[in-house]
Each structure stands twice: as C-alpha cells, then as structure tokens.
Amino acid sequence: MQARLLRSFSFRLAFTYMALFGTSVLLLLWFIYWSTAAYMSRQADATIAAEITGLAERYDMDGLAGLINVINKRLSRKPTGSSIYLLTTAINTPIAGNLNRWPETQADNDGWLNFQLENASLGKNNIHLARARSFTLSGDFHLLVGRDIYELEETQRRIIRALILGFIITLVLGGGGGFVLSHRVIKRLESINITSREIINGDLSRRIPLHHSDDEFDTLASNLNLMLDRIEELMDDVRRVSDNIAHDLRTPLARLRNRLELLRSEQEKAGQDPALAEQAISEADGLLKTFTALLRIARIETRRRKDAFTETDMEALLHDVVELYEPLAEEKGLSLSLQIDSNVHIQGDRDLLFQAMANLLDNAIKYTPAQGRIEIRLNHQRISIADSGPGIPENERQQVFQRFYRLEKSRTTPGSGLGLSLVEAVAKIHGMSLSLEDNHPGLQVNCEFPQDPSITPMPASNHT
C-alpha cells in the first residue's frame, strides 16, 4: 500500500507542490537572513565609523593626551565590552587601548580589518573574530577602532539554525500533508476502482458511493452513476429484446422442425427418399443450437448477481465431464486421461462451469485426429486441456474467442463458432483467465483460477 501510495499521481502532485513551496520558503528564509545579517553588519560598521569620526575630532581639539583620556574612560566604563581600541605610533608601538599589538591582517581599500581577537584583557578564553577600521591621525599616529563580532556572529548562527529548523519543519509538515492528501485521494479513487471491477464482473447494479461533500469527486461519481444507470437501462432493454426474440422466434423454429419431422414421416410412409427432409431438420437443429448459444452467452454476460454460485468441487465436475465424453472419445479412437494434482473448490455456477469444460473437451475431441490423445489436468492454479490436434496459429488465438469466428481449415467441420465465446463469458463471470499455447503438437487451453480459491491438496490420481 505504501509503495502504491508513493507511485500515485496524487502523491507526486503533492510532492511537487511541497517542493515548490519548500523552495519558496527557502528563498524567503534566505532573504530574511540576508536582510537581517546584512543590517546588523551595516549597523556595526556604522557605529565603528561614527566612533572613529568622534575620536578624530577629539584628537584635533585636545591632542594626543585628550584622545588617550577618552579611550581610557570608554574602556574603564565597560572593561569586558565588545569595543576595541588601539592607538599606536608610526611603528605600531601601542600607546593606549585594549589590544597589545597591531593585527597582522592587511586592511582592505576602505581600511577595514577582520582578525582573530586574542587579548586576554577581555576576560574571555575563547578566540573571537573582530572587525575594525584603521585611521591615520596627524603626527603619524595610527588609530584602530573596532568591535568583537562574536555576539554578532552568534546571533547570525542562531538565525541560521532557526531558519534551517523552520525549513525542516516546513518539509516535514508538507510531506505529512502530502501523504495524508494522497491517502485520501487514493481512498476515493479506490472506491471508484472497486465499483468498476464489480461492474466489469457483471454486477451492473453497483454504484459509486457519494460522500456528499459536493467536491469534484462527488461530481465525477454522480456523473458516472448517471452513466451506469443509463447503461443498465440499455442492458435491460437488450435483455427484454432477447427474451422477446426467444419467445417469438424459437417457437416458430420449433414448429418448423416438427413439421419437417412430419414431412419425413410422410415421405417414409409413401416410400419416398427422406434425405432432403433430414437435411432440413439438421439445418433447423443447427439454427436452434446457434440461437440457444447466443441467448445463453448474452444472459451470462449481462448477469448481475451471483445468486447461483455455490461451492463447486472441480474434481467431481471434471470427472462428470470426462464420463460424458468418454464414449465419443473411444468411438474416435482417442486416448482421454484426467490427472488430479490437487483438488480445488471455488465459488461458482456448476452448470455454467460444466458447460464451459464440456465445450473445451468437445472441441478437443472434434479436432484431434484418430489415435490422438487428450489430457486434462487439475491443480491448485489451473485446469489445462491439451490435445494432439492441429492447434491454432499464434496470430489467431485471440480472435477465436470472437463470436462466429472460425479458422479457415475448420469451416468444413460442423459448428457455429460460439463455443469458445461461451467459455470466455463463463470464465469472466467466475474471475478466471483463459490462455492458449502450443502443445507440440496440438493446443493446450489453460483456465487460470482466481487468486483465492479454496484448495484441498490431495495425492495425484489418474483416470484414463
């Protein structure tokens, strides 16, 4: 279920939305960081520049002694503060300030220096980064004013951590929201799929459940239900027409056959040859069989409920089919064998399953030449009926399930081309799948059981 959810379109859509939203949030957080950190750095630089201006003016008014006095007063007011002062001679000999030497870092074009602060007088054991600006006073004195930017960097790091945490929370909430949304969408779609599969299996009375939320899914479900109502109505009309045809045409055909029987009897009494009457009776029987097969297929395909389904013993069913066709196989000189690897019980209509197996065995006997062999095998997965006849070309194996379709080499053989169509209709209503394959020589028909039949393992047995 989880793998299916990850492959679903709704999850991919939610993930795409989450990715776009996450990217937008990331850009927004980056802008917040950039504007905040840059503002704090600009404020620190502006403060340093203002201090340099003030100290330079003090030097101009009070001279060197006045400047030293101001620096000492500022340091004495806050000895462990973040302010950095250093006044040196032309050869960088310290005169006043809280640095014991001039930084070795080269200043940029604007006089700014970034260096490591190692002055123990600040009362801090950790090495901090500092940012300062140098200024040359008259008399070739050098003034350095700066700030310990440890707190600034720590604040920036906290902002970065907060932004990263916020981004992770956004991804987690977005992913969780996408998962929940996808699960809800899949649940709604699965209800449609379940109903669709039940309709495909023949239950046209099924309808897609509504949640009465008036959303797009309810609109879709309502439209599909209206369509299904219309389809069911049309199928009812077809069924009524079929019943009417059965009532209106089968009776005249039966009367025609009875009159042909009377004609044959009269001809026999009069000493005339009844061959033409017998041919007409045979043609009428063929028409009745074809008509009956068509109606049976239509009724199977339009069956709504599976009320006639009961637990069916497939071993007993196959034994009955083999017993019915044994005389015909012996008459043609065929070897007919039944092998049971494991018994299978499925929920199904026994009469329909019997008819389907009988049609397959009848075809095998019909097309297998004399002295050939037919093998029927039952196991927990399938029923297979294999013969040594001419087989069916691979490019025609799907077409033989169409109504009235017959191979060119089989057109001279009696039949209507409806046998495999009926078998396919029975297989569909039971959830079985049909496949045809080579038997080298001949044809093998496989009827695969549904996923969950009731299986009773038993020792292998053979009936020949």
**List of domains in the chain:** 2-154 (3.30.450), 216-301 (1.10.287.130), 310-463 (3.30.565.10)
pTM assigned to the model: 0.49
pLDDT at 122: 45
B/e letters for 345-381, b = 16+ CB within 10 Å, e = fewer, are: bbebbbebbbbbbbbbbbbbbbbbeeebbbbbbbbee
pLDDT at 453: 47
Residues 58, 63, 68: CA angle, nearest 5 degrees:
75
Taking each helix axis from N to C end, the angle separating 216-269 and 150-200, rounded to the nearest 10 degrees, works out to 20
pLDDT at 125: 54
Q: Please state whether beta strands 454-463 and 433-438 pair in parallel, antiparallel, or not at all (unpaired).
A: unpaired
How far CA 346 is from CA of 310, 355, 424, 434, 450, in Å, comes to 8, 16, 17, 16, 9
pLDDT at 298: 66
Query: Which residues are within 8 A (CB) of 230 and not within 5 positions of it... i.e. 6 or more apart?
Result: none
pLDDT at 246: 60
For the chain, 464 residues long, give each residue's pLDDT as a single digit of tens.
Answer: 455 555 666 667 777 777 777 788 778 878 887 778 778 888 888 888 888 888 888 888 888 888 888 888 888 887 777 888 889 988 888 888 888 888 888 878 777 888 887 654 444 456 778 888 888 888 888 888 988 887 777 887 888 888 888 888 877 887 777 777 777 777 888 888 888 887 776 677 788 888 887 778 788 888 888 988 888 788 777 767 766 666 677 778 778 888 888 888 888 787 787 788 788 877 777 777 766 766 666 666 665 456 667 888 888 899 999 998 898 888 888 888 888 887 788 888 888 888 888 888 888 888 888 888 999 998 877 889 998 888 887 777 777 777 666 665 555 555 566 777 778 888 887 778 888 888 888 888 888 887 654 444 455 455 55
Q: What is the dihedral of CA 193, 195, 201, 206, to 10 degrees?
A: -170
92 vs 340: CA distance, rounded Å: 106
pLDDT at 221: 85
Secondary structure of the chain as H, E, C letters: CHHHHHHCHHHHHHHHHHHHHHHHHHHHHHHHHHHHHHHHHHHHHHHHHHHHHHHHHHHHHHHHHHHHHHHHHHHHHCCCCCEEEEEECCCCCEEEECCCCCCCCCCCCCCEEEEEECCHHHCCCCCEEEEEEEEEECCCEEEEEEEECHHHHHHHHHHHHHHHHHHHHHHHHHHHHHHHHHHHHHHHHHHHHHHHHHHHCCCCCCCCCCCCCCCHHHHHHHHHHHHHHHHHHHHHHHHHHHHHHHHHHHHHHHHHHHHHHHHHHHHHHCCCCCHHHHHHHHHHHHHHHHHHHHHHHHHHHCCCCCCCCEEEEHHHHHHHHHHHHHHHHHHHCCEEEEEEEEEEEEEECHHHHHHHHHHHHHHHHHHCCCCCEEEEEECCCEEEEEECCCCCCHHHCCHHHCCCCCCHHHCCCCCCCCHHHHHHHHHHHCCCEEEEEECCCCEEEEEECCCCCEEEEEEEEEEC
pLDDT at 413: 58
Query: Which residues are within 8 A (CB) of 160 and not within 5 positions of it... i.e. 6 or more apart?
Result: 33
